[in-house]
């Protein structure tokens, strides 16, 4: 039987999923090490090894974001034949949603907006990294959170539970002590990982954390507006596929983002993906390998998949 290994090398972690072509989950792996981004070869190798275990294969289809596929992951994998499938984050999202045209909005460690129109035009905005862009992504949220804890003692209106959470996270006594950690000189996964803390505190009602998520979502909403008005499709009807950890995990973020989308393009339809991006990659591979026979396998995969728990962060490992 054919098997599929899906590798999603993200900014903060790498997910690996091994399935057969019936959609049954055979193995899973995840590497999330502070200071080691998910696109680092070490993270990809670790996640792939956990998913592959000691299995042997006749045919192994490997789907990944092409530039993030270290070929030495196959050194200890026994297969008679390998088929490498290269895809993009946006094409995996389209496959996951089961649509051919529309707009993908991704907010994970980074952020981008991508459109594929009915007349065959592509346009991609952002995804330019934490220094130049990624407006509205996890790194952007993490940066705003660090700004917030610096101001947290200036006036009661700046008071936030993020202060204690983030200082505890980095094991330092005060915001000024963060200078010694050189956070912005390290892998972007360290600052981006703070987005999870912001989401948790926002869900618990912290006003400053809620404001950070809303501002980040509004920023991605501005990117969306630039995308659709630049293409001249803002009066048409298209699906908007929301993906990435911020969109999946934060209702506050998604609700604010969707409000911005509706203001810019009132006739667009929402499609918020609740499964992680590795599922989209696996679905893309199933569609490519099986063609029109893929739907039962996709349904089986969605029934069986369970997202692995993220291990507790230990910032000292990355610093």
pLDDT bin (cut points 50, 70, 90) of residue 200 is very high
Mean pLDDT of 117-141: 93
pLDDT at 82: 79
What domains are defined for the chain?
A: 2-87+276-318 (3.30.420), 99-274 (3.30.420.40)
CA 39 – CA 14 distance, rounded (Å): 7
Please give the span between the terminal C-alpha atoms of the chain, in angstroms, as a whole number: 44
pLDDT confidence of residue 123: 96
Give the other-Cβ count within 10 Å of 291's Cβ.
8
Question: What's the CA angle centered on 189, arms 210 and 173, to 5 degrees?
Answer: 70
Residue 71: predicted pLDDT: 64
Q: What distance in Å separates the CA atoms of residue 37 and residue 23, rounded to the nearest whole number?
A: 28
């Amino acid at each position: 039987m054919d098997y599929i290994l899906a590798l999603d090398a993200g900014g903060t972690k790498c997910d690996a999923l091994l399935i057969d072509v019936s959609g049954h989950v055979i193995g899973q792996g995840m590497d999330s090490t502070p200071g080691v981004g998910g696109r680092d070869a070490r993270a990809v190798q670790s996640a792939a090894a956990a998913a592959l275990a000691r299995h042997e294969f006749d045919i192994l289809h490997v789907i990944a974001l092409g530039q993030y596929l270290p070929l030495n992951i196959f050194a200890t994998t026994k297969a008679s034949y390998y088929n490498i499938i290269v895809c993009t984050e946006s094409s995996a999202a389209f496959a996951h949603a089961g649509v051919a045209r529309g707009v993908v909005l991704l907010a994970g460690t980074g952020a981008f907006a991508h459109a594929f129109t009915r007349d065959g035009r592509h346009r991609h905005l952002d995804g330019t990294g934490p220094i130049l862009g990624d407006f509205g992504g996890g790194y952007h949220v993490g940066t705003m959170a660090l700004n917030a804890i610096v101001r947290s003692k200036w006036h009661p209106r700046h008071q936030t539970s993020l202060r204690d959470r983030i200082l505890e996270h980095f094991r330092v006594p005060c915001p000024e002590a963060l200078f010694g950690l050189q956070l912005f000189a390290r892998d972007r996964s360290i600052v981006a990982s703070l987005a999870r803390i912001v989401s948790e505190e926002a869900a618990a009602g912290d006003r400053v954390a809620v404001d950070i998520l809303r501002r980040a979502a509004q920023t991605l909403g501005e990117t969306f507006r630039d995308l659709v008005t630049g293409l001249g499709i803002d009066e048409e009807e298209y699906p908007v596929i929301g993906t990435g950890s911020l969109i999946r995990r934060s209702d506050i973020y998604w609700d604010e983002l969707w409000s911005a989308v509706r203001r810019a393009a009132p006739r667009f339809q929402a499609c918020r993906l609740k499964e992680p991006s590795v599922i989209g990659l696996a679905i893309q591979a199933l569609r490519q390998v099986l063609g029109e026979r893929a739907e039962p396998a996709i349904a089986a995969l969605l029934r069986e998949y369970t997202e692995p728990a993220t291990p507790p962060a230990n910032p000292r490992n990355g610093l």
